[in-house]
Structure 1
Amino acid sequence: MRLVTFNILHGRSLRDGQVDTGRLAEAIRRLDPDILALQEVDRAQERSHHADLTDVAAAAMGAVDQRFVPALAGTPGAAWVPAADPDDPGTAGYGVSLLSRHPATAWRVLRLPRIPFRVPRTGPHRWPQRLAPEEPRVAVAGRFATPEGPLTAVSTHLSFVPGWGQLQLLALRRALAAVDGPVVLLGDLNLRGRQPERLTGYRPLGRRPTMPAGRPDHQIDHILLRGELGPVRLVDNPEMELSDHRPLVVELGARRG
């Protein structure tokens, strides 16, 4: 089983500043995931040609089940409101996705604790430009029927604000505590090093730097496991033609016994 998490920067390339859905599709085909977690995903946004980027990824990997969950409705960095449940699929949105080549038997949306104050937003030269509301944060969990048995996978993107990512991760751990069987948590956690495993008690399946994409020197994108799956056979962080992150890839063998 091949697990991948990738913050796609809404499909934009840092080389030319463009969003090319064909380039995104080729990246997903190259990654060849069985379960794919995406972050910073657009739906019906002008900047990404009004495409549904989850659909683009699903077609590229041959997903049989998929779910896009917007964190916000409207335009990131401009006019937006927190996304509502249930989501209106005709509304422009921005959030996270979870896709699988294995059929889903259940889905769950988890809205994470939100920062109640404005936070500094940085410009291209990294100094604070203005104070703005922090974007809402969300997770999507799917339970999948895999050849190894039932597996719960979760895609999320946590806050970059110090302390709040940790708070959101602890809330996510509590929400998943009652889930039976193995749980895989995938996403851009905005937490470095061993913080995610220390906060959750989950086991990291791969250690590779994922930021910045050109010359990565630290890891904020993680794949963590609670429970048991097959042995890790491969860990990779290939450079792609898009995003400011590298994806994290973990390939698992069959469970012994």
Structure 2
Amino acid sequence: MRVATFNILHGRSPEDDQVDLDRFVDAVASLDADVLALQEVDRNQPRSAGADLTALAAEAMGAAEHLFVAALHGSPGVWIAADGDLAPDAAAYGVALLSRLPVLSWESVRLAPVPVRVPMRFDGNRRPDLVRDEARVAVVATVDAPGGPITVANTHLTFIEWWQRRQLRTLRSALTGHPGRLMLLGDLNMGEERAQRLTGLRSLVSAKTFPVDEPTEQLDHILGTLDVDAAVLSGGSSRLALSDHRALYVDLA
């Protein structure tokens, strides 16, 4: 059973600054994942040819089960926080979880952004800029996997470090009581040691994922409980033909 996570940068390649849907489909197929977590996913956005990237990915990997959950509605420059997903055809941006295995239940968890503008210093700037955090979300599936159910959560956390702990606390609280083993996937915007410490889960694969050309840090993670850790056969990262992140994967017995 292969589990993978990939921040897809809405399907764009930094090399030519283009979204090529055929390239996106080929990249997803090449991962050959049984369960796949995607972040920075577009739906009905002009910059990605108005495509439903979740549906394209599901077809590419043969996933009968899949769910996109919007974090934001609208388009770049005019984003608004998504509150539920009551407009399935609206332009949106969020996370998706896809599975070749049967899914017993689905859930979404809203993760509140920092409520005020936050000073951030960017490269080349002497003074910090005030930035507004984005709304975040997690999608959770209980997968009917060999050996029993696994609860799999996918999220993309804020880049504001002191708020990440609160978002993880919200998510872990929502996952309490879910059946079977637990896995947390996604772009957590933090390193491996901190991800393990804040979640209380074990890192199932250690591999640098960002930036894509010559990665220096691991921002993307596949974490699990002890019983999942015991099933790990191998894992690593893959440089694909799109995104500023590498995909991360783990093979489980």
Give the TM-score, by structure 1 length.
Answer: 0.93
Instruction: Look up the match of 1:27.
Output: 27
Kindly tell me the number of residue pairs found equivalent between the two proteins: 251
Residue type of the alignment partner of 2:37: A
Alignment of 1:97-108 (within 5 A): 97-108=96-107
CA distance in 1, matches of 2:102, 2:170: 27
Question: By how many angstroms is 1:129 displaced?
Answer: 8.5
CA distance in 1, matches of 2:111, 2:124: 27
Q: Is 1:10 aligned to residue 10 of structure 2?
A: yes
Alignment of 1:46-65 (within 5 A): 46-65=46-65
Unpaired segments of 5 or more residues in structure 1?
A: none
CA contact (8 A) 1:43 1:92 kept: yes
Structure 1 moving runs of 4+ over 2 Å: 119-123, 125-133
1:163 counterpart SS class: helix
The one-character-per-residue Cα deviations of 1:149-182 (angstroms, maximum 9, x if unpaired) are 1111111000001211222112211221222210
1:218 counterpart SS class: coil
The one-character-per-residue Cα deviations of 1:23-57 (angstroms, maximum 9, x if unpaired) are 11101111000000000000000100000110111
CA distance in 1, matches of 2:119, 2:124: 10
CA distance in 1, matches of 2:173, 2:80: 26
Question: By how many angstroms is 1:120 displaced?
Answer: 5.1
CA distance in 1, matches of 2:192, 2:150: 25
CA distance in 1, matches of 2:54, 2:175: 24
CA contact (8 A) 1:150 1:181 kept: yes
Question: By how many angstroms is 1:121 displaced?
Answer: 7.0
Alignment of 1:1-257 (within 5 A): 1-76=1-76, 78-119=77-118, 127=125, 131-229=130-228, 231-253=231-253
CA distance in 2, matches of 1:89, 1:122: 37
CA distance in 2, matches of 1:126, 1:248: 30
Question: By how many angstroms is 1:86 displaced?
Answer: 3.7
CA distance in 1, matches of 2:121, 2:16: 21
Q: 1:120 to 1:10 in 2, by over 3 A?
A: farther
CA contact (8 A) 1:13 1:242 kept: yes
Residue type of the alignment partner of 1:149: G
Pairwise CA RMSD of aligned residues? 1.7
1:41 counterpart SS class: strand
1:168 counterpart SS class: helix
